[in-house]
Each structure stands twice: as C-alpha cells, then as structure tokens.
Structure 1
Amino acid sequence: MRNNIINYTKNFYNKSFRRATHVIFDMDGLILDTECIYTKVISDIAQKFGKQYTKNVRIKLLGTVEADSSKIAVQEMQLPITWEEFREEFSLKSSIQLRKCPLMPGAEKLIRHLKANKVPIAIATSSTQESMEYKTEHLKSFFDLFDHKVCGGSDPEVRQGKPAPDIFLVCAKRFPDKPHPEKCLVLEDAPNGARGAIDAGMQCVIVPDQDVPHDLCNHATQIIPSLKYIRPEHFGLPPFTS
C-alpha cells in the first residue's frame, strides 16, 4: 500500500496547476468519515429484500443527493419499494448513526491552516441542510470556520445535483468577492463531484474511496490518497509550516 501511495502521488505532484484563491470542500467522505455508515445502512435495507449492495452500485451513489441516491439504489438493486420509501428508511437509520462521525485524516489540519491564513473556504455538500446539521452538531465550532455552506439536497438554487456543476457555481457565487470559477480549488472524494467541479471550470483534487478505480478519477486535476498528502503551495496557497 505504501509503495502505491508513493507512486501515484509522485505522478500527480509533477503536474503544473493554476493559482487558486478560494477553496471549496465536499463533506461526506472527505471531511467526515461517513461512508462506512452509509454502506452499512444501505446494505441492511438491501438485505431485507434478499439483495446485495455491491461495489459497483456504491460507486454510482457516491456524491449524489439523497433523492438521486435513493432512485439509483432502488433501480440498480431492483428493490420492491419506491424510492421515496427507500429514502425515508435510509434517512431515519442514518440520522441516528451519523451524529458522532469522526473527521477524516488530514482534514482538520488543512482547514485550520487555510482559515489561519485567511483563505476563503466553503462547503458544497450533496446533503440536505437538516442532514448536515445533525452530522456536524458535535463539531459545531469546527464547521463554523467555513465562510458558508451550500447543501445541494435542499438548496433551491442548486437545480441539479452532482455530477452537474450547479452546486459549485452557486458556492463560488456566495463568497463575498464572487471569484471566477478558475480561481476556485475543489476538494472531493467522489468521481461525480470531481466531474461537476471540472465542468464548473474549477480545479479539483480528488481523494477517492479505496473502492473507486482510479480510471474513474482521471478527469480530476490531481489524485491523492488522503488529505494528509495535499500540498497547498502547488495551487499558490500558503504552504504548511510543519
């Protein structure tokens, strides 16, 4: 594993990047370690009907808003329920288990570093506002570091969820100085999110889930195995001092 990390980080660290002035973060699977909980909840629902939540279905769901996730899950696994019924059960079960999610490795260091250096930061998540609030209530002071948050699952300005670019364009527009998309750096964990960011005209560093094949991430600006490996100076941002 260690050799694999070294090999592909070297390849992508040799690329040249544009200077960024603003940073937009996804939340689930990037800042918060939620994906294992989502996987268990969806697997439990599928098993009730004798179905299996496979890796291929999971990859299709990554980064999508709840309504789209529910539709894809029901269709791909051929569940004998409506997508609304799936969503209701998923929301109920996951809301209980997601209230104490830990932070992903490297997330806190990077976010506090950017904030300390006055780099504008925001969140663009496919979660609903309600979902985001219960997932972050135990880390409220930490999430207050962000300039703003856009919740694609409930925000009326976000007309289409990821992989559409809508959420990233809305997020950029809500910074007080309204930066041009090319000045924004997006950090994502899902190919759907990375595609949306690139289509929005932004650079995107992807930290893919271990189940995601790297060929699904080739459209991203850079692939790294963890936020611990990001180098802000590659994008013209202040470097870590330690």
Structure 2
Amino acid sequence: MPSLEKSFKCIKNVIFDMDGLLLDTEILYEKAYENIMNRYEMTFHKDYQMKILGCDTDTINKFFVDELGLPCTYEEFQSQKDAEMAALSPHCNFMPGAKKLVEHLHKKNIPIAVATSSGQQSFDLKTQNHKEFFKLFNHIVLGSSDPEVKKGKPAPDIFLVCASRFPNKPKPEDCLVFEDSPNGVQGAKAAGMQVVMVPDPNLDKEQTKDATLVLKSLEEFKPEAFGLASF
C-alpha cells in the first residue's frame, strides 16, 4: 500500500462512485442476490459479488442468467432484484468517512460529482433517505440509464462524460476518482484520471494494484496529498 504521506498530482475536480464507496449498498445487494438464488435452490457465493462489483445492470443480469445458469430471463431477474432492493434500500447507510469528506470538499468549493453504474430507479431507491446529501454534488451520472454512457465500467465512458459536465471543463488528469471496485479503477485509469481505491477487505490484493492510492477507509484520505484543502 502506498504511503499516505506521498504527494500525488494536484487535481481540481473529484468524482465519486456510489455503491460500496459512499453508500454501504454491497451488503444489501448480496442479500438480494442470495434471496433470489435461494428461490431456485442455488447458492450465492461471496466471490460472485467480487466479479460484478462496479458493473452495469445488463452485465450483472447476464452474469446471473448466462454464467450462473439462473433459470429465468434477464427481465425476470431484474424484476426480482428491483423488488428485493425496494425492501432493503431504506436501510442503506453511509460508508465510514464518506459524509465528512463530501461535506468538506463542498464547503471548500471543490467541484464534485457522482459516477455510478446504477440506473435512475435504483439510484432513487438507495438515496431516498439521503436526498440532502446528494444535493451537494454538481451533477450525478447514472451509467445504466444515461444515453451518453455507451459502455459501462471498466470502459472509461462514464468518467469522461462525468468530467465533461463540470462547469469548469477539467482535463481528465485534473480529476480524481474514488472507487471501490477493480472495474471502476480500470475505467478511471483508462480515462486518464488518478484513482483512490477503497476496496472490499475480501478483495484479492492483486486486484488493487492499478489504483493510484489504496485506503482501508475514506477516513484515511488526506486531501492535501492531491493539492486540496486539508480538513
């Protein structure tokens, strides 16, 4: 893990992933997938979640139906997932350090945005109890429902689209991305951006090697390392 005291290239704008980075949703998704697979007398394994972290809706549906052989259509799987998440999402909480960091950057007038693979319906469900928090962002790009995002993570599309919507029109190298998934890290790097990774503790360390900086929690982040105002 790189030293937290190391200095990196100074940046002007910050882009955040949402699931598993700002909001503790991965545990909700795991429960939803487990419940669905149990209906078909199949078992959900932890490593499945690692394979689909950061993926868009279509990719996830194909993984369960095509790769795992769930005996249902993509639409049926999506319908079941929507129902499960509708019941679970009200219990969605912030990840450690997320609220403090976002509020700090907003207060210091650092342009911030969200780039999530979620679609509109999913986003609305997960953020229903945190609407004021998400108003702090300049804009939010929803990968699964935004027509300008042609390919999901690990493609760079969502990050480039997100950067283009900032009023100050930053270059990719002027943006810092926060991600928890290998797919997200690859997408951010492909976009030409530095990326801070806060991975699931169960993730293989080999899958964190492409990140600019790896942290155990957002609570460890030091804004001044990237030329931002310190706490």
Q: Give 2:89's aligned residue.
A: 98
Read off the aligned partner of 2:167 and give its amino acid letter.
Answer: P
Kindly indicate whether residue 172 of structure 2 is the aligned counterpart of residue 181 of structure 1.
Answer: yes
Give the Å deviation of 1:96.
2.1
Query: Structure 1 residue 130: deviation in Å?
Result: 1.9
Which runs of no fewer than 5 residues in structure 1 stay unpaired?
1-7
> Does the 8 A contact of 1:12 with 1:223 survive in 2?
no
Offset at residue 84 of structure 1 (A): 2.1
Structure 2 residue runs of 5 or longer lacking an equivalent are: none
Aligned residue pairs, count? 231
Code of the residue aligned with 1:160 in structure 2: it is K
Q: 2 CA distance for matches of 1:165 and 1:15?
A: 26
Identify the residue that residue 218 of structure 1 maps to in structure 2.
209
**CA distance in 1 between partners of 2:166 and 2:152 (Å):** 20
Aligned to 2:184: 193
Q: Which amino acid aligns with 1:93?
A: E
User: Which residue of 1 is the match for residue 43 of structure 2?
Assistant: 52
Whichever residue aligns with residue 209 of structure 1, its letter is D
Distance in 1 (CA, whole Å) between partners of 2:147 and 2:44 is: 31
| Whole-angstrom CA distance in 2 between matches of 1:67 and 1:37 | 19
Is 1:147 the counterpart of 2:138 in the alignment?
yes
The equivalent residue for 1:125 is 116
Give the superposition deviation at 1:58.
Answer: 1.1
**CA deviations over 1:134-165 (Å, ceiling 9, x no partner):** 21121111110000000001000000111111
1:90 Cα deviation (Å)?
A: 0.6
Percent sequence identity is: 48
CA contact (8 A) 1:37 1:98 kept: yes
Q: What RMSD in Å do the two structures reach over aligned CA positions?
A: 1.2
Residue 234 of structure 1 corresponds to 225
Alignment of 1:14-29 (within 5 A): 15-29=6-20
Q: CA deviation at 1:12?
A: 3.6
Give, in whole Å, the separation in 2 of the partners of 1:163 and 1:15: 27
**1:73-108 superposed Cα distances (whole Å, 9 cap, x missing partner):** 223322111222111111121122112311111001
| Contact 1:67 1:87 survives alignment (8 Å) | no
More off after superposition, 147-156 vs 55-64: 55-64
Which of 31, 41, 47 is the equivalent residue of 1:40?
31
Give 1:116's match in structure 2, choosing from 96, 107, 121: 107
TM-score normalized by the length of structure 2? 0.96
Misfit runs of 4+, over 4 Å: none
Aligned to 1:4: none
The answer to whether the 8 A contact 2:6-2:225 is kept is: no
